[in-house]
Chains A and B, each alone.
Chain A
Amino acid sequence: MNELLALFIKYALVNNFILTMFLGLCPFFGVSKRLGDALSMGIAVTFVMLSASVITWLIAHFLLIPFNIQYMEIVVFILVIASFVQLIEMFIRKTSVSLYRALGIYLPLITTNCAILGIAEINFREGFSLLGSVASSLGAGVGFILALAIMSGMRERLEISAVPESFEGLPIAFITASLLSLSFIVFRGIGL
């Protein structure tokens, strides 16, 4: 149990996906302008990360390893993730209109989000168990939501502040992210 908690904290705070590993930067800068959008995107990413971790774990341990074809990991993982995201999108569109409005528009963006393939690769390379993969992907998802929520709050304030002309938009967002990342360095003190 302690081990799972340690994995959760490791990927939520110490190795925060956005602020220390730079995975999933596109949505981080793309949809962090309003808190509501940021939360929807964060929940969608967490859900896909969790399911993709479980699916890729099953495929790795029941298909790749028994047949000794681990070198196919990249091709197999990306195909599975892409088709899985398509499937969820179709499922949500058919079953719930309101859920589709809230999350659906983010799903196509998620396929090429490095956070998803990133967590699948980390689980595979570190050799986590199934429960370990669940814990690490939940941690990564929570860390992702946390970073996105804080960033959106800061960017809402940035909109009304006087930024030098050449730093408007992306440059000032990067500098804000730098300060945010600096504050996450304290979590390195946690010994896991």
Chain B
Amino acid sequence: MIKDFTNGIVKVNPIFVLALGLCPALAISTSIDNAIGMGASVIFVLLFSNLMISLLRNVIPKEVRIPCFIVIIATFVTIVSLALQAYLPALNESLGIYVPLIVVNCIILGRAEAFASKNPVSRSVLDALGIGLGFTLSLIIISIIRELLGTGGISVFGYGVTLPFSPATFFIMPAGAFLVIGLLLGLFKRVGVIR
């Protein structure tokens, strides 16, 4: 049981091991706030879609399961999108188009198909939490590097420090995102975290 939770964080880490859900990982990792916001949204959607699909796994006919999964996922993404618009408009503005695009994030459909549609509710919930946390942690690692080097300081929800060096704007540009993830993947391969 507990393995279902811990697997998602290192062993099947969605970004660094499975290389899924890369679009948001590259696009919104310019600041730590964005990374936390995106991570929380994905955890919410993943948790409730896994829960729902696991509950309905014996009711949904096999032939039309993918459209059913997509409708369930899209419903929860709509909830997140409306909630962000209402309560956190600034975060919604900076995440922009990447909020509705959580629907086509391969991690969520992937877990629905590979795990939640085959396993009982308790295990599916733990799996969703593990994978979601793994995704969020990877996002935070990438965004710490990019924000530190690209803006010359780190800030989380308004509290932060500025370091005494002039920032290399390159790292908050798109090219910086590709470079940071490429180097991190190489590093993790070198130390043997991933194969």
Contact = CB atoms under 8 A, between A and B. Distances in A.
Interface of A: 19-26, 29, 71-75, 78-79, 82-83, 112-114, 117-118, 121-122, 125, 164, 166-167, 170-175, 177-179, 181-182, 185
Given A22-B174, A112-B106, A171-B183, A118 B97 contact: yes
Interface string B91-119: 00000010011011110010000000000
A22 B38 CA distance: 15
A153 B82 CA distance: 43
B97 A121 contact: yes
Interface string B163-191: 00000001001111111011101110110
Nearest to A163: B186
**Ranked 6 nearest A-B pairs via Cβ:** A174-B182, A178-B178, A171-B186, A178-B179, A166-B190, A175-B182
A125 B106 CA distance: 23
Contacts of B101: 23, 114, 117-118, 121
A174 B181 contact: yes
Interface in B44-89: 66-67, 70-71, 74-75, 77-78, 81-82
Contacts, number: 111
A175 B77 contact: no
A26 B70 contact: no
Given A78-B74, A112-B104, A174 B23 contact: no
A173 B97 CA distance: 25
A21 B175 contact: no
Nearest to B25: A22
Interface of B: 19, 22-23, 26-27, 66-67, 70-71, 74-75, 77-78, 81-82, 97, 100-101, 103-106, 109, 170, 173-179, 181-183, 185-187, 189-190
Nearest to A24: B23
A74 B74 CA distance: 6
A79 B67 contact: yes
A22 B67 contact: no
Given A74-B103, A78-B103, A175-B183, A114 B178 contact: no
A178 B182 contact: yes
Nearest to A179: B175
